[in-house]
Amino acid sequence: MTSEAIDTNISTLKFWEQPRQVHRDTFKWLRENRPVNWNDPPEALDPGLDNAKGFWSVTKHADIREVSRNPKVFSSADGVFIDDFPQLETMLSFIVSDPPRHTSFRNIVSVAFTPKHIKKVEEQNTKIVREVIDTAAPQGEGDLCELITKEVPGRIFASYFGITDDDEIKYVMDTAEQMGAWSDPDYAHIGSPLEVFADATSRLGELALRHAKERQKNPGEDLMSWVSQAQYEGEKMTVEEVGVFFALLAGAANDTTRHSAAHMLTLFHQHPDQKAYLMEDFSGRADDAINECLRMEPPLMHFRRTALQDTELNGQEIKEGDKVVLWYISGSRDADVFENPDTLDIKRSWKQNPHQAFGGGGPHYCLGNMLAKQMLKAELWEIFTRMKDLEVGEPDLMLSNFMNGVMKLPGKWTPEKKS
Ligand code: HEM
Answer whether residue 300 shows pLDDT above 80.
yes
Answer whether residue 352 shows pLDDT above 50.
yes
Confidence of residue 116 (pLDDT cuts 50, 70, 90): confident
Please tell me the residue having the least CA distance from ligand 1 atom 31: 368
Most confident option among 7-21, 37-51, 231-245, 260-274: 260-274
Confidence of residue 1 (pLDDT cuts 50, 70, 90): very low
Min mean pLDDT across 47-51, 161-165, 293-297, 330-334 is at: 47-51
The arithmetic mean of pLDDT across residues 103-130, rounded, is 91
Helix (H, G, I), strand (E, B) or coil at 9: coil
Of 165 and 413, more confident = 413
Answer whether residue 368 shows pLDDT above 70.
yes
Task: Give the model's pLDDT for residue 88.
Answer: 65
Min mean pLDDT across 59-73, 127-141, 213-227, 397-411 is at: 213-227
CA distance 61 to 154: 31
Task: State the DSSP string of 115-151.
Answer: HHHHHHHHHHHHHHHHHHHHHHGGG-EEEHIIIIITH
Q: What is this structure's pTM?
A: 0.95
CA distance 280 to 286: 10
> What atom of ligand 1 comes closest to residue 372's alpha carbon?
27
The arithmetic mean of pLDDT across residues 297-326, rounded, is 97
Task: Give the model's pLDDT for residue 89.
Answer: 64
Task: Give the model's pLDDT for residue 2.
Answer: 47
**Dist. CA 364 → ligand 1 center (Å):** 8
Please give the mean pLDDT across all residues of the chain. 92
Please tell me the residue having the least CA distance from ligand 1 atom 24: 253
Residues within a 6 A CB radius of ligand 1: 68, 94-95, 106, 249, 252-253, 256-257, 260, 298-300, 303, 328, 357-360, 362, 364-368, 371-372
The arithmetic mean of pLDDT across residues 167-183, rounded, is 86
C-beta separation of 26 from 6 below 8 A: yes
The class that CATH gives domain 3-409 is mainly alpha
Reported as type and span, the H/E element at residue 160 is helix 151-161
CA distance 369 to 376: 11
| 47-70 per-position pLDDT tens digit | 766 666 899 999 999 999 999 999
CA distance 158 to 165: 9
Ligand 1 mutation pick, 358, 377, 380, max ligand atoms within 8 A of CB: 358
Please tell me the residue having the least CA distance from ligand 1 atom 18: 366
The arithmetic mean of pLDDT across residues 355-363, rounded, is 98
Task: Kindly list the distances between the CA atom of residue 226 and the CA atoms of 104, 116, 154, in Å, as whole numbers in the listed order.
Answer: 16, 11, 20
Helices (H), 218-255: 223-229, 239-249
Q: Which of 178, 220, 344 is nearest to 275 (CA)?
A: 344
Helices (H), 218-307: 223-229, 239-249, 256-270, 272-280, 282-296
Q: Which residues contact 324 (CB under 8 A, 6 or more apart)?
A: 55, 56, 58, 67, 74, 304, 305, 306, 307, 313, 318
The domain limits of the chain are 3-409
Ligand 1 mutation pick, 237, 366, 371, 375, max ligand atoms within 8 A of CB: 366
Of 164 and 331, more confident = 331
The DSSP symbol for 71 reads T
Answer whether residue 283 shows pLDDT above 50.
yes
The arithmetic mean of pLDDT across residues 82-104, rounded, is 83
Strand partners, 408: 396
> What atom of ligand 1 comes closest to residue 356's alpha carbon?
10
Task: Give the model's pLDDT for residue 311.
Answer: 98
> What atom of ligand 1 comes closest to residue 68's alpha carbon?
16
Task: Give the model's pLDDT for residue 372.
Answer: 94
Task: Give the model's pLDDT for residue 51.
Answer: 60
**Dist. CA 327 → ligand 1 center (Å):** 15
The DSSP symbol for 253 reads I
Please tell me the residue having the least CA distance from ligand 1 atom 7: 358
